[in-house]
Chain A
Amino acid sequence: MSLLVVGMNHRTAPLEVRERVAFSDLEVREILSRACTEETLGEMFLLSTCNRTEFYGLSNDNGVAEMYIRNLIAQQKQVDLAAHPGYAYTLSDVESARHLLRVATGLDSMLLGEPQILGQVKQAHQLSLEVGACGLILNRLLHAAVSAGKKVRTETRLGGGAVSVASAAAELAGKIFEDLSTRAVLLIGAGEMGELTARHMLEKGAAHLTIANRTFSKAQELAVELNGNALPLDRVEEALARVDIVISSTGSPQPIVSEARMKAILSKRSGRPIYIIDIAVPRDFDPLIGRLDGVFLHNLDAMNLLMEKNLEERRAEIPKAEVIVEQELEAFLSWRASLAATPAIKHLRERLEKIRRQEVARYGSRFCPEDREELERLTEGLMKKILHPAMVQIRNWSGSGHLGSLRIDTIYELFELARGEKDPSQGDEEQE
C-alpha cells in the first residue's frame, strides 16, 4: 500500500475555490466514515483549514484513490477539478509524507512558520482517530508530523517575531514595558485594524482598555464586548495623560494630536513613557511627536519594517526546519520499511524450506533409511547457512528507509515470493 495526498492550497487555488472546498468537522466525520466502508482507501484523514484542504490516504492503487477523492470533492462541493486541473495537486508516497511534515511545521503555510497549523493537524488527526479512519501507518506519520512541528518551534526561530500589524504592535510594547499586565491601553477610533490590535494587546495581558470614538455608541458597544471603558473623542487628552499604550486608527483627515498638545499632555505624565501605535492613514499623531522624550511613536511604515525584518529572520531559519523535516521523514520511512522485514524473512524461509522439502522428497528414495536423517540435517544446515546472511541483510535494509524498502522488494521479485496477506499496512503488526 502506498501513501498519497490530494489537495489544494493557497498556492494552487484562489480564495473563492478554497472557501468552497472547506469541510466542516461534521462533513469530515461523514466523509471519513464513508471512506472506511467503501475500502478504496485503507486509511484516511482530512486536513481542512482556511488555506488548504488536503485528503491523505493509503491505497493499493493511487490512481483509483486519486479519482475517488477528486470525485468526492466534485460531488460534495461542486468544484469541477477537471476543468481547472491546476487547482488540485496529487503527491505520492514519500513526497506525500514529506508534504505533511512540511505542512505541520509551517514551512508550507501562507504566513511562513505560523503556529496554528500544528494545532489544526492535531485536530484533524484526532477526528480521524475518532472515526476509525486512521490506522497504523497514518497514525505514525501524523505523530512524526506533530513531532517535527514541535521541534521546529522549539529548536528554530521559524515562528519567531511578529509578522502582522497587531502582533508587531504587541511585540514592540513588550520591548518598552516589561509587564503588560499593569498597562492601560487607549484605542482611538473603532476601526477593524485598531480593534484587532487592541484585542491582541489584551490577549498579551494588557490590564485595561479605554475606547474613544467619534460615534460614542460604537465605542460603548466595543467597550462592552472587550470589557473596557468608552470615552467621547473630545476627552481623549485626559486619557492620553493616564494610559501607557495608544492605538490610533481614526479616519480623520488631519492629525488629531499636535506636537504642542502632546507636550502639554507629557507634562502631566511625570516622565512615564507612552507608546503610540498610529496605524491611521492619514496619520492621527503629528510625526514630530516621535521626537519627544518619553514618546515612542510608530506608524504603519515602522510596523511593516519590523514585520519584514522578522520575516527575513524566519526565512533564514528554513534550512534548519528542512533538516528537522528530513530527519523525522527518514525515521518514519525506516519504521515503515522495518514493518516489511518480518514478512519478507518469513516468506523467504518458507520458500527455501519448500524447495528443500521438494528436493529431499525427490531424491530421498535413493538413500538408505539411516542416511535419510543425515540428508535432512545436511539440507537443513545448508539452508540455514544460506538464509542467515540474507536475514541479517534484510533486517539491516529494513532500517535504512526508502532504499531499504526497495531492496526488500527486490528480494520478493528475485525469489518470486508472494506478498498477499502479509502486507504490513493491513495492520497485523504491532499497534500503537
Chain B
Amino acid sequence: MDILINTLNIVLPTLYALAWADYALLFFRNDGFAEKTASWLLYGAGTLHGVALLLLSIQLGLFPVATVFEAFSVVAFSILVVYLLIEWQIGVRTTGFFIVGVIFAFQLVSSAFMTRPTEVNPLLTDPSFVLHVSTAVLGYAAMAISAIYGMLYLMLFYDIKQHRFGLIYKQLPSLEVMANFTQGAATLGFAFLSLAMVLGLALMAKVYGAQWQWDPKLTITFLAWLIYGACTVGRKLWGWSPRRVAFASLAGFAVILFSFVVVNLLFTSFHGFV
C-alpha cells in the first residue's frame, strides 16, 4: 500500500498540473482539444485523489487531517468537488484555469511535504475531533472558492468599469454569476466554520477542561469567521455591493492563509494547525 500511496502522491500533482495546462489553453486560446479534455482530466484526477485519501485513511486508521499537509490535500479535494459541481451547473469552463491552479498549488505543497506521523495522538481518532477538522477543512475549501470568484469578480468589474474589453472580459461569465458564487461559497464556508468552531470549543472543554481563550490561532480563525459572517449577511443587512463582498471574501481568505502559514511558524499554540 505504501508504494501505491507514494505513487499517487506523485501522480496527483502531475495530473493537476496537466489539467491546469489544459484549462490554461482553454482560457487563453479557446483550444478545441482542451475544451473536450479539460473536464475529463479533472474528473480522472479527482477520482484518483479520492482513492488516495481513502487509502491514506485506511493505512493511518484515521481521516488524513492530522497534519497541515494532509489537510492541504483534503482542501484541494474539497475545492475540486465544489468546482466540478459549479462547472456542471453553469456549463462554463473558463474559470477553471484559476480554480485548478489553486487546487494544484495545495496538492503540490501537500505531496512535497507530507510525512507519516511516527506516533498517533489518540485525540486524532476521536470521532468528534474528526468531525471538527473535517468541517473546518470543508469551510476553508468553500472560502477559497469564494475568494477566487471574488477575485475574478473584481477583475471583470474593473475591466468593465474602465472599458477594457480584453481576455478577462471575453472569457469570464457575467458579474452576477460570479457575485452569486462569491456570496454562496462564503455562506457555505461560514456555516462549516461555525460548526467547526462549536465542535472545537466542545472538544476543548472535554479534553482540556478549558473555555474560549485568546490563543493566536483561535483569534485569527475567529476573525476570519467574522469576515465571512459579514459576507453572508452584508448585502441583506447593510446593503453591501457585490464588490464589497468580493473584497471582504478576499480579505477573509488572506486571514486564513496568514493563519495557516505565518501564525504556524511564528507563534506557539495548543492547536495542531490553524
B interface, by DSSP: helix, strand, loop or mixed? helix
Selected interface stretch from B6-14, B47-55, B241-249, B263-271: B241-249
A290 to B161, CA, bound (A): 7
A80 to B240, CA, bound (A): 69
Are A273 and B175 touching (Cβ within 8 A)?
A: yes
Are A178 and B235 touching (Cβ within 8 A)?
A: no
Residue A177 contacts which of B176, B235, B239, B240 (CB distance < 8 angstroms)? B176
Task: Provide the residues of chain A in CB contact with B240, threshold 8 Å.
Answer: 271
A175 to B166, CA, bound (A): 13
For the complex formed, measure the closest distance between the CB of A118 and the CB atoms of chain B, giving whole angstroms: 23
**Mask of A274-312 contacts with B, CB within 8 angstroms, 1/0:** 000000000000000010011010100110011001100
Are B169 and A175 touching (Cβ within 8 A)?
A: yes
B34 within 8 A of A: no
Task: Provide the residues of chain B in CB contact with A176, threshold 8 Å.
Answer: 160, 174-176
Known: A175-B160, A290-B161, A305-B163. Is A271-B174 also a contact (CB below 8 A)?
Answer: no
**Mask of A398-413 contacts with B, CB within 8 angstroms, 1/0:** 0000000000000000
Q: List 13 A-B contacts (CB under 8 A).
A: A175-B156, A175-B169, A175-B174, A176-B175, A176-B176, A177-B176, A178-B173, A178-B174, A271-B239, A294-B241, A305-B165, A309-B165, A310-B165
A172 within 8 A of B: yes
Are A306 and B165 touching (Cβ within 8 A)?
A: yes
- Closest residue of B by beta carbon distance from A301: B163
A179 to B176, CA, bound (A): 9
A174 within 8 A of B: yes
Are B160 and A178 touching (Cβ within 8 A)?
A: no
A37 within 8 A of B: no
Are B239 and A270 touching (Cβ within 8 A)?
A: yes
For the complex formed, measure the closest distance between the CB of B250 and the CB atoms of chain A, giving whole angstroms: 16
Are B241 and A271 touching (Cβ within 8 A)?
A: yes
- Closest residue of B by beta carbon distance from A307: B165
Are B160 and A273 touching (Cβ within 8 A)?
A: no
Are B165 and A294 touching (Cβ within 8 A)?
A: no
Are A294 and B176 touching (Cβ within 8 A)?
A: no
A220 to B156, CA, bound (A): 38
Known: A175-B169, A298-B163. Is A271-B176 also a contact (CB below 8 A)?
Answer: no
Task: Provide the residues of chain B in CB contact with A306, threshold 8 Å.
Answer: 163, 165
Known: A175-B160, A176-B176, A178-B177. Is A273-B242 also a contact (CB below 8 A)?
Answer: yes
A176 to B160, CA, bound (A): 9
A-side interface residues, number (CB < 8 Å)? 21
A174 to B176, CA, bound (A): 9
For the complex formed, measure the closest distance between the CB of B134 and the CB atoms of chain A, giving whole angstroms: 33
A130 to B129, CA, bound (A): 79
A-to-B contact residues, CB < 8 Å: 172, 174-179, 270-271, 273, 290, 293-294, 296, 298, 301-302, 305-306, 309-310
**Mask of B218-253 contacts with A, CB within 8 angstroms, 1/0:** 000000000000000001000111111000000000
Task: Provide the residues of chain B in CB contact with A301, threshold 8 Å.
Answer: 163
Task: Provide the residues of chain B in CB contact with A172, threshold 8 Å.
Answer: 160
Q: How large, as a class, is the contact surface on chain B?
A: 20 to 34
Task: Provide the residues of chain A in CB contact with B166, threshold 8 Å.
Answer: 309
A270 to B238, CA, bound (A): 8
A299 to B244, CA, bound (A): 25
Task: Provide the residues of chain B in CB contact with A302, threshold 8 Å.
Answer: 163
For the complex formed, measure the closest distance between the CB of B139 and the CB atoms of chain A, giving whole angstroms: 25
Query: 4 extra interchain contacts, Cβ-Cβ under 8 A, other than A174-B174, A271-B242?
Result: A175-B174, A177-B174, A271-B241, A306-B165
A176 to B177, CA, bound (A): 9
The 6 closest A-B pairs by CB, nearest first: A178-B176, A271-B241, A302-B163, A271-B239, A178-B174, A270-B239
- Closest residue of A by beta carbon distance from B163: A302
- Closest residue of A by beta carbon distance from B180: A178
Residue A294 contacts which of B173, B174, B243 (CB distance < 8 angstroms)? B243
A293 to B173, CA, bound (A): 20
A305 to B140, CA, bound (A): 41
Task: Provide the residues of chain B in CB contact with A290, threshold 8 Å.
Answer: 161
Are B241 and A273 touching (Cβ within 8 A)?
A: yes
Are B243 and A296 touching (Cβ within 8 A)?
A: no
A310 to B169, CA, bound (A): 12
A179 to B169, CA, bound (A): 17
- Closest residue of B by beta carbon distance from A304: B163
Which residue among A175, A290, A301, A306 has the maximum number of chain B CB atoms within 10 Å of its CB? A175
For the complex formed, measure the closest distance between the CB of B126 and the CB atoms of chain A, giving whole angstroms: 44
For the complex formed, measure the closest distance between the CB of B216 and the CB atoms of chain A, giving whole angstroms: 34
For the complex formed, measure the closest distance between the CB of A279 and the CB atoms of chain B, giving whole angstroms: 14
Known: A177-B176, A178-B174, A306-B165. Is A293-B160 also a contact (CB below 8 A)?
Answer: no
For the complex formed, measure the closest distance between the CB of A173 and the CB atoms of chain B, giving whole angstroms: 9
For the complex formed, measure the closest distance between the CB of B236 and the CB atoms of chain A, giving whole angstroms: 9
For the complex formed, measure the closest distance between the CB of A320 and the CB atoms of chain B, giving whole angstroms: 11
Task: Provide the residues of chain A in CB contact with B165, threshold 8 Å.
Answer: 305-306, 309-310
Are B175 and A175 touching (Cβ within 8 A)?
A: yes
A270 to B177, CA, bound (A): 18
- Closest residue of B by beta carbon distance from A308: B165
A309 to B166, CA, bound (A): 8
For the complex formed, measure the closest distance between the CB of B37 and the CB atoms of chain A, giving whole angstroms: 18
A310 to B175, CA, bound (A): 20
For the complex formed, measure the closest distance between the CB of A307 and the CB atoms of chain B, giving whole angstroms: 10
Known: A174-B174, A178-B176. Is A271-B235 also a contact (CB below 8 A)?
Answer: yes
Which residue among B160, B165, B177 has the maximum number of chain A CB atoms within 10 Å of its CB? B165
Task: Provide the residues of chain A in CB contact with B169, threshold 8 Å.
Answer: 175
- Closest residue of A by beta carbon distance from B241: A271
Task: Provide the residues of chain B in CB contact with A305, threshold 8 Å.
Answer: 163, 165
Known: A175-B174, A177-B176, A178-B173. Is A296-B161 also a contact (CB below 8 A)?
Answer: yes
- Closest residue of A by beta carbon distance from B166: A309
Are B160 and A296 touching (Cβ within 8 A)?
A: yes
Task: Provide the residues of chain A in CB contact with B244, threshold 8 Å.
Answer: 271, 293
- Closest residue of B by beta carbon distance from A296: B160
For the complex formed, measure the closest distance between the CB of A277 and the CB atoms of chain B, giving whole angstroms: 12
From residue 93 to 139 of chain B, which have CB atoms closer than 8 A to chain A? none
A213 to B240, CA, bound (A): 33
A179 to B174, CA, bound (A): 9
